[in-house]
Structure 1
């Protein structure tokens, strides 16, 4: 039975865009119309959008089906523009992360037209053949890459083009041989990719087994012509998978999907504006999805739950690149005047600064600062230098400015204007006399301490800063934070004698292990208090004196000593 708040829009593909053909009340009715539409020679494909009302009352839409016609000739798609192309010297380089990224960027228009990943083109000989035979496409793509790589290779662009074609032809021949291999397994609906990989490694070398498994995966994935469908299939294969090699191979393909702007857009679901999309990407990088109900596809929640697990390095890198690309761009973040745009930018900055860790580190910080260029009239190097001060000044907390500036030190922007970046840190820290000069006094003490400690850690990690400057900045923040802890009597409150020794000692160690203190004077007072407790005679007996039962006492001691180790106490 159809829901009253949903309908299904059937769209057809014309040359280079989708247009609405008709509507249906039910999904079954919509799918029945697909076959007839595909017989129309004027349509290049058909897709179905489910339109519905989300729980928050907003209109929402989701692509639930896409099918493109098989085409052997594509004469209207050219190479996509690229400005860099790391050198590929072997087939392994071509199939590696940087090689696939270059392949995906230069072939982006083609991949998006047919909803394909570069993995499917590289490992599925059928798709490789169609791409290579598309009029002018292969030559245009190879020429673009060769022009960028020829100088590094010390040869002419034509010579480099010949080398690249040799690599592509070798990859295509290898994929064809693998696909023609007798007994090559298939990925059934409920099959484990790790099982397929293991079976192939038993009859081939580890490297060849992995290649054969990718051929199987590419063939399976090519049957799905929607980005969400591909992601759902890949994440289903990863779900509960403990085989590290299998996860790493699937990770490559998930990253390929996320290299498509359309793929990321489908993953995020309906977003009101660019700022919302960027915040959703930050949420994903932080391992969470804030959108409720049907606004975010279920696959986004699945990815968020897994994205920070071991083995998904390329997926995280692809999400980071997508977020940075949008953040440092020039598009409007929200509808409205300049003031509304800046407020949206600050909201993104606050989300990054208050995340579990600063997602993306220096790269994201650079994108945040360069994104402020959308509010400036100056361009070029003058604008890039000016934006450092303008963007930092837009942040409310001086400690946050120090943190972002410290992250900038290890970026291209920081290398270009080192004095402008480091000078901002000097301007904040050298005159600082108290925590009031580093954080707003209106904030709660724990929040103020966390801001300064986060800035301290960012400075400590700034590898391109001279040791003398870094150590001085760290000393200033540590000294002011220690004075604040002393003046606020935080340690005394934690070590309140009205509580049991177990409660007091645990509070103190948790404080030492928290992200609110620095590794210097700020932590020393609390650490010395803990050491004083530990050195008292019969500490273990006193620690569990308020507990009854041997099991409870043993567990309390185990947990406490584990906490000591996390806080790096020599117990």
Structure 2
């Protein structure tokens, strides 16, 4: 029988640098660790220290517990970090638990969460941590006031009334956390696992309470870990339990992983030393999609583990937070290639290529706006004329017209796009307004079927987008017209409806184009349907349709299948 190792402890002394904790030394005794920490703090060069007990359990897992923390008096106060984007307006305390609300907390309380190493989920669901935050200087009143002012300005509200409403939400959250902390009947997460614990709660609680209590259970364990990567390891293990979490339990864990990734220092620790900001952003984009190049990383590298989680699990909030970090970095003043300003444009294009996909621009309207504003720095002029030129030139960097169109469609859904609605409409008309320009959207080296599928995909992306009306409808109609022009140019109907082939084969091929999901735009479908109807109207169509079949049973089967296809296409 394999014997488990004995439990053992060591004591880490970590120092606070700028906005995160860094391991300095490790000791076997708590007394030695405390003495060393006190000595280096008194030297005046260290802003803060903490002592963390690392307990190696018999089963091999490590539990980290902060046992001492101290800062020099000159740096003991913590202030909020500035934000200039108004957080989404929330109308209930429950909205505070959403990903957007937690992202705002992570940004506003950046200095606090990095120093204490605590996620917004822990702050909202662990009464001890929430009370600790509320008691910290003037931090919460300042944060609430800042959010109230930004939201009031955006929504045309009275800032004092909005502040009072936010305090009402905070009081409600605090009371819920207090009640949860007092409950003695909650399952033990370590003993039963997260899914069984969630199912136990779901059996006796309403959905809203179940989610809150499940996050409270997670927070009980997470607050014991004063290390971001330890939290990430713990959460990753929960996702992998019992073959992998799914459904609501996975969504709840995803939210907390997103919180961890929202801490500014975590992405840096995961990716390691990067050659430039552009390289870091490209790798972060790849990581968010589970496509990070891990060929040069060790198997136990945490970035490898997270990459695997993102590749095989629906961690939508985590992806959202990571992409939002990319967006905000693009809007920042940091150069993309600090070592050589001459490579700044090429670095920009690398990032642009990374966020450009056949499924649309990663990050949507916000990313499109960030790219335009970043590009604006390459231009001499500013203001409306500069932004207009930046929009045009970023659009022109796309070699594929479909990619350029998707970019501008995304831009139309941003604040900048709405501000420049006429310019966006002009760019989109330049792409789609002339039916003779269909050649920009097709690849002559590809089969006609592939081009049809890509054209139709572009049409559905525009049709189903959140772009404003009537712009969306106009562009979709223009793409439909371009598609019809391509159908006529490549003589698609003539190729399919070849008179030398049996009528059954010709009609079936036409019907395949009319089937749901093949051609979806009104005008393109009409071209094909017109030819089908012309066949149906010819005398003795049924006899001609099965003329190449001699077996009566096969003839009846073929006709039934054809009429089934007619019904699917809406032609009966």
TM-score between the two structures when normalised by the length of structure 1: 0.72
| Residues 491 and 525, structure 1, Cα contact 8 Å, conserved in 2 | no
Change (3 A) 1:183 1:472: closer
Provide the residue aligned with 1:376 in structure 2.
379
> In angstroms, what is the RMSD of aligned CA positions?
4.9
C-alpha distance in 1 between matches for 2:397 and 2:173: 50
Provide the residue aligned with 2:80 in structure 1.
79
What secondary structure is seen at the aligned counterpart in 2 of 1:216? helix
Provide the residue aligned with 1:51 in structure 2.
none
| Residues 406 and 458, structure 1, Cα contact 8 Å, conserved in 2 | no
Change (3 A) 1:422 1:167: closer
**Bigger mean CA deviation after superposition, 369-378 or 70-79:** 70-79
Provide the residue aligned with 1:234 in structure 2.
235
Shift, 1:118, TM fit: 0.7
Change (3 A) 1:490 1:68: farther
The aligned runs of 1:394-543 (5 Å cut-off) are 394-431=397-434, 433=436, 435-438=438-441, 452-460=455-463, 461=465, 462-466=467-471, 469-483=474-488, 485-486=490-491, 519=521, 537=546
Of the three residues 235, 246, 252, the one matched with 2:255 is 252
| Residues 187 and 196, structure 1, Cα contact 8 Å, conserved in 2 | yes
C-alpha distance in 2 between matches for 1:140 and 1:467: 42
Provide the residue aligned with 2:115 in structure 1.
113
The CA deviation string for residues 131-182 of structure 1, in whole angstroms up to 9 with x for no partner, is 222222223223322333456695563x654554454344334323322222
Provide the residue aligned with 1:210 in structure 2.
211
C-alpha distance in 2 between matches for 1:440 and 1:420: 28
C-alpha distance in 1 between matches for 2:132 and 2:321: 26
Q: Establish whether residue 266 from structure 1 lines up as the match of residue 269 from structure 2.
A: yes
Change (3 A) 1:318 1:288: same
Shift, 1:529, TM fit: 11
The aligned runs of 1:315-326 (5 Å cut-off) are 315-326=318-329
C-alpha distance in 2 between matches for 1:36 and 1:401: 62
| Residues 235 and 303, structure 1, Cα contact 8 Å, conserved in 2 | yes
Of the three residues 301, 305, 329, the one matched with 1:299 is 305
**Bigger mean CA deviation after superposition, 410-419 or 83-92:** 83-92
State which structure, 1 or 2, has the greater radius of gyration over its C-alpha atoms: 2
C-alpha distance in 2 between matches for 1:465 and 1:213: 44
Any unmatched runs of 5+ in structure 2?
A: 1-11, 42-47, 54-61, 536-541, 555-560
Provide the residue aligned with 1:553 in structure 2.
none
Provide the residue aligned with 1:133 in structure 2.
135
Provide the residue aligned with 1:184 in structure 2.
186
What secondary structure is seen at the aligned counterpart in 2 of 1:464? coil
The CA deviation string for residues 39-86 of structure 1, in whole angstroms up to 9 with x for no partner, is 4122513799xxxxxxxxxxxxxxx99875644998331011123234
What secondary structure is seen at the aligned counterpart in 1 of 2:189? coil
Provide the residue aligned with 2:370 in structure 1.
367
Change (3 A) 1:418 1:520: same
What secondary structure is seen at the aligned counterpart in 2 of 1:44? strand
C-alpha distance in 2 between matches for 1:68 and 1:489: 76
Provide the residue aligned with 1:551 in structure 2.
none
C-alpha distance in 2 between matches for 1:86 and 1:231: 27
Change (3 A) 1:270 1:216: same
TM-score between the two structures when normalised by the length of structure 2: 0.72
| Residues 480 and 521, structure 2, Cα contact 8 Å, conserved in 1 | no
What secondary structure is seen at the aligned counterpart in 1 of 2:15? strand
The aligned runs of 1:6-45 (5 Å cut-off) are 12-14=14-16, 16=18, 32=28, 36-39=32-35, 40-41=37-38, 42=41, 43-45=48-50
C-alpha distance in 1 between matches for 2:371 and 2:517: 27
C-alpha distance in 2 between matches for 1:184 and 1:206: 15
Any unmatched runs of 5+ in structure 1?
A: 1-9, 24-29, 49-63, 546-559
The CA deviation string for residues 9-34 of structure 1, in whole angstroms up to 9 with x for no partner, is x98414646798868xxxxxx57599
Q: Establish whether residue 175 from structure 1 lines up as the match of residue 177 from structure 2.
A: yes
C-alpha distance in 1 between matches for 2:162 and 2:433: 53
